[in-house]
Amino acid sequence: MEQNRETEKKKYTARDRTRILLYLLSGSKRFFALGVVCSMLVSLFNLLNPRIIGYTVDYVLEDTAGGATGPLQEILAFFGGASFLRSNLFVIALLVTAVALFSALFRFLLQFFLAIGVEKFLKRTRDRVFSHILRLPFSWHSENHTGDIIQRCTSDVETIRNFLSEQMISLFRISILIVFALFFMISIHPMLTLAAAAFVPVIIGYSLFFHNRIGSQFLRADEEEGRLSAIAQENLTGVRVVRAFGREVYERERFEKQNSGYTKLWIRIMMLLSAFWASGDLISNLQLLTVMVFGSVLAVQGQLSAGAYISFVFYNSLLSWPVRELGRIISDMSKAGVSIDRIAYILDSEPEKDEEDAAQPELTGDITFSHVTYHYENAPTAPGVLEDVSFTVKAGTTVGILGATGSGKSTLMYLLDRLYDLPEGGGTISIGGTDIRRIRREHLRRNIGMVLQEPFLFSRTLEENIAITGRTEDKKLIRKRVREAAGIASLDHAVARFASGYETRVGERGVTLSGGQKQRTAIAQMLLKDAPIMVFDDSLSAVDAQTDMKIRKALRERIAGATVILIAHRITTLMQADRIIVLDKGRVAEEGTHDELLAMGGIYRRIYDLQLAQDEE
């Protein structure tokens, strides 16, 4: 965790952020560029119509402006002159429609290109991040909280998506709109424009200030909601405990207290938001009033025609909303930087990497642990420490390991599978004489069938879970092998009780299996791997003794010739091993066959007596 915070502290500069963003944008940049071009055209066409309407009022409907001059005159002439247009106003209506058609076309293209670009970007980002996560070392996974990583992969990606497709484009679109509109407005009347534009920085600044201030309140509300949600979650998962202790009243009080605190916080935020919206209305409408009054005065003074006035008011009202949005957009954009950093943290973490000359030898030889020493500093989250552990598992034999919780058994197996790597000077683990650090990880892991104490099931059918390591596509063969393995793992009876049999969906979004069923599924899964080395890490703990025995009997027949490491608490499980190692506080305390260890009268004997004591009566 500490280490994690250190890494997190790494400061990303604007350049780093751009580098990450460009990396993720590879392949979608041109669509964003096309979007930008389209958005300029949309703004341009949007702003044409008010001008056309204004001219129509001045030169066609009324002649107060005293006739057109310059290029405008030619345009009027092109359409048949003012008097022709006056009796055939539909021509102007068609013109307005045509301009709108272009505006609509470019608006469509803008959104379409953006959709293509954004979705390409999202796919690339998700794929890259996911693939990277899969290849990060296990120590990284245990140091980082699942919820936090998932949040990075989902809501932070979403934040960047909004940044690209909403904020960046809106910022650009609104800026263009402001520039173009101001240009048109200046061409109508510079002084009036100044009066109208004076409000723009005020509105943006005010909105920016507010959004920055309220950001922390939103954050707090999120935290409070998280707490409320956690209370509900714990109450539901612990429903048996709540009922058995009769603590419903306590739970209710706890929930209602948090709930009303959270609600009060939100109501306060709503008050602030309402005040913000209302004052925004006030400023915007005062701006409209200013333009109206000032415009009227100018018109009365003869500086502004009626049509010009209408156009100007149109432009002004077109700007009103976008300008109000600008403050929020700018303040939201600052969040994107943090999200990019959070994703960069994943992408910049060092993945597992084999040495260039990593070997892929046959892994059928003896497994030798030689002076293996491993401390918490190497992996703060490892389940135990190891001190100078040495022993050999002869090829084709079974070695049992017994040890109390936290004695380092699991750590030893993680080291064997290179989930953790032994540091230099921490001894060696070798298979058939080759140091495992010189063996390609993929090759090593493929050749070690490891069954974990708390196995993980994928959100697929039982059959797909069991066959997940299989590399054949032959459906019939898979079926046959899955059923055979399930038989050995004593899973077949349980499966027969499911309505959909092997097609039953398990995992997060499927049927929940019991601990024992999960362990048996994991054993079947491992069998399909056909690995020469098998490791059972306390993997029958949730299975009752009778089933345990049945499985081990079937396994013995099946795995003849494999090298097996068997970790267990039960003497009955261990005693048939060729050799048994007793680990105590990270050291090898005893080693020998079942009989030898019994004769030795040490820890093994004591545990044996404990487990057998009452049976002998």
Least separation in angstroms between residue 443's CB and another protein is 9
Q: Which is nearer to another protein, 110 or 482 (CB)?
A: 110
Least separation in angstroms between residue 388's CB and another protein is 22
Supply the DSSP symbol for 11. P
Taking a C-beta distance cutoff of 8 angstroms, is the pair 189, 308 a contact?
yes
Taking the C-alpha atoms of residue 493 and residue 265, their distance in angstroms, rounded to an integer, is 54
Q: Which is nearer to another protein, 222 or 544 (CB)?
A: 544
Taking the C-alpha atoms of residue 604 and residue 612, their distance in angstroms, rounded to an integer, is 12
Least separation in angstroms between residue 219's CB and another protein is 18
Task: Determine which helix (DSSP H) or strand (DSSP E) holds 546, and give its type and residue range.
Answer: helix 545-558
Least separation in angstroms between residue 302's CB and another protein is 8
SS3 state of residue 136 = coil
Least separation in angstroms between residue 188's CB and another protein is 14
Taking the C-alpha atoms of residue 559 and residue 563, their distance in angstroms, rounded to an integer, is 9
Q: Which is nearer to another protein, 268 or 371 (CB)?
A: 268
Least separation in angstroms between residue 272's CB and another protein is 10
SS3 state of residue 363 = coil
Quick one: CA dihedral 251, 253, 259, 261, positive or negative? Answer: negative
Q: Distances in Å between the alpha carbon of 254 and those of 236, 242, 259, 261?
A: 14, 13, 9, 11
Q: Which is nearer to another protein, 377 or 616 (CB)?
A: 616
Taking a C-beta distance cutoff of 8 angstroms, is the pair 544, 575 a contact?
no
Amino acid at 289: L
Supply the DSSP symbol for 153. I
Taking the C-alpha atoms of residue 276 and residue 439, their distance in angstroms, rounded to an integer, is 64
Least separation in angstroms between residue 201's CB and another protein is 21
* β partners of residue 581: 401, 591
SS3 state of residue 398 = strand
Residues, the chain, total? 617
Q: Distances in Å between the alpha carbon of 337 and those of 4, 12, 61, 171, 584?
A: 20, 9, 54, 16, 50
Least separation in angstroms between residue 522's CB and another protein is 8
HEC readout, 547-606: HHHHHHHHHHHHCCCCEEEEECCCHHHHCCCCEEEEEECCEEEEEECHHHHHHHCCHHHH
SS3 state of residue 245 = coil
Amino acid at 578: D
3-state helix, strand, coil in the chain (%, to 5): 65, 10, 25
Least separation in angstroms between residue 561's CB and another protein is 21
Phi, psi angle pair for 556, to nearest 5°:
-55, -40
Least separation in angstroms between residue 477's CB and another protein is 17
Alpha helices per DSSP H over 301-361: 306-348
Amino acid at 49: N
Least separation in angstroms between residue 187's CB and another protein is 19
- Tokens 């009876």 sit at which residue? 493
Least separation in angstroms between residue 77's CB and another protein is 19
Least separation in angstroms between residue 57's CB and another protein is 6
Amino acid at 261: G
Least separation in angstroms between residue 511's CB and another protein is 10
Taking a C-beta distance cutoff of 8 angstroms, is the pair 441, 352 a contact?
yes
Buried b (16+ CB within 10 A) or exposed e, 274-305: eebeeebeebbeebeebbeebbeebbeeeebb
Quick one: CA dihedral 406, 409, 412, 416, positive or negative? Answer: negative
